[in-house]
């Protein structure tokens, strides 16, 4: 649906005040009365935003989920995460009969993993979840920084587990996947709230372009962490088979150090707002590709399954470097735009 721009002539009153009339359909739709207060916000592009929502971030956005037809834990969990990411501040779960046990288990898991939601009210057929997090209390920049640090430590620990043959450390890396997911979901949620609420975005000092930038970067960091988890899972298999040589472990370790270096420098370029550093880092991805291609597997020494498992580890290291290059491309685009 398209809207034609209405025009109004600027008039002067009292010799110093400029006034324009407001469209009557807009007044009626928003139930504005004489002497009501409305908000006026100048925009960076020179436009003027007029809004009846002075405290827009306090508006409650609710989502109701009827779970009568639900019989799958994962399905319900995805719907809850989707509702959270789309910015609903109240999620109501209803059933015409007593909840199946998996329903409450799923809700508990959701509130334990996602940042902000808590169960406020509960019966056998009704659960009210409310988000207690003020969007302004979790700045985008700090969340992204945490994701960088967490992804970095997951990669290093997955390779450390291989070198030290430490199965417990590999399992610990796998568990940390929830930590990176919850930060990724938070960035998605914050982005959707800001994209929907231009007043809140200005109060947070975030442009709509910035929100989109952070969401794209968060996605890349989440994928990097996924590859760290893949390395850890394959390390468990390699340690179980106990066929990998120290020489091969060292080559894999050397490649992983290059990958971690690429990720660290992408973060440095972001923090220092350095376009040249970001560009140089993209070019450096070639060094990692050569290092990964230079790791050859002796088919006689490593059987089919071992060879495939080790190849998966090398592939994940390569992907981590490539995603770090993608992050640098985002940084360049964002810096050019500012």
Residue at 74 is within a domain: yes
pTM of the model: 0.83
Q: Which helix (H) or strand (E) holds 131?
A: strand 126-131
Domain boundary (100, 135, 170) is at: 135
Confidence at 215, pLDDT banded by 50, 70, 90? very high
- Are both 63 and 126 inside the same structural domain? yes
Task: Give yes or no: residues 23 and 158 share one domain.
Answer: no
Alpha helices in 73-176, H assignment, sequence order: 73-85, 101-113, 140-164, 167-175
Q: Which domain holds residue 16?
A: 11-54
Q: What is the mean pLDDT of residues 143-160?
A: 97
Q: Is the pLDDT of residue 59 over 60?
A: no
Q: What is the pLDDT of residue 302?
A: 62
Are residues 98 and 157 located together in one domain of the fold? no
299 and 311, same domain (yes or no)? yes
123 and 208 housed in the same domain: no
Are 155 and 88 part of one and the same domain? no
Instruction: Tell me the percentage of the chain whose pLDDT exceeds 90.
Output: 62
C-alpha 285: how far from chain center? 24
Residues 89 and 157 in one domain: no
Tokens standing for 264? Answer: 């660290």
Residues 6+ apart with CB under 8 A from 243: 301, 302, 303, 306
| Residues 62 and 145 grouped into a single domain | no
Instruction: Specify if 5 maps to a domain.
Output: no
For residue 299, the domain's CATH number is: 1.20.58.220
Same domain, 168 and 317: yes
The count of structural domains within the chain is 3
Give 103-124 pLDDT, tens digit per residue.
999 999 999 999 999 999 999 9
* pLDDT of 1 strictly over 60: no
């Amino acid at each position: 649906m398209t809207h034609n721009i209405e025009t109004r002539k600027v008039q002067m009153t009292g010799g110093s005040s400029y006034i324009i009339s407001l469209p009557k359909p807009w007044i009626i739709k928003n139930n504005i009365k004489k002497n009501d207060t409305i908000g006026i916000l100048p925009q960076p592009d020179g436009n003027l935003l007029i809004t009846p929502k002075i405290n827009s971030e306090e508006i409650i956005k609710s989502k109701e989920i009827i779970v009568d037809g639900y019989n799958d834990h994962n399905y319900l969990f995805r719907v809850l995460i989707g509702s959270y990411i789309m910015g609903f501040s109240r999620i109501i779960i209803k059933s015409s009969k007593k909840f199946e046990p998996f329903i409450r288990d799923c809700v508990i898991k959701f509130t334990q993993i996602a940042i902000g939601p808590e169960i406020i009210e509960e019966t056998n057929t009704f659960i009210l979840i409310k988000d207690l997090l003020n969007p302004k209390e979790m700045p985008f920049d700090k969340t992204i920084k945490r994701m960088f640090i967490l992804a970095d430590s997951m990669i290093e620990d997955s390779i450390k587990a291989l070198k030290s043959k430490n199965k417990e450390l590999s399992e610990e890396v796998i568990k940390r996947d929830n930590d990176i997911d919850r930060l990724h979901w938070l960035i998605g949620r914050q982005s959707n709230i800001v994209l929907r609420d231009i007043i809140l975005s200005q109060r947070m000092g975030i442009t709509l372009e910035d929100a989109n930038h952070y969401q794209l970067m968060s996605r890349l960091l989440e994928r990097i962490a996924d590859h760290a988890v893949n390395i850890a899972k394959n390390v468990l298999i390699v340690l179980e088979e106990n066929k990998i040589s120290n020489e091969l472990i060292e080559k894999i370790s050397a490649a992983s150090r290059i990958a971690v270096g690429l990720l660290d420098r992408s973060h440095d370029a972001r923090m220092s707002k350095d376009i040249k550093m970001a560009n140089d880092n993209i070019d450096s991805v070639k060094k990692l590709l050569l290092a990964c291609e230079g790791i050859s597997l002796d088919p006689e020494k490593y059987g089919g399954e071992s060879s495939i498992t080790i190849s998966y580890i090398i592939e994940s290291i390569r992907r981590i470097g490539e995603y770090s290059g993608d992050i640098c491309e985002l940084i360049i685009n964002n810096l050019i735009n500012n």
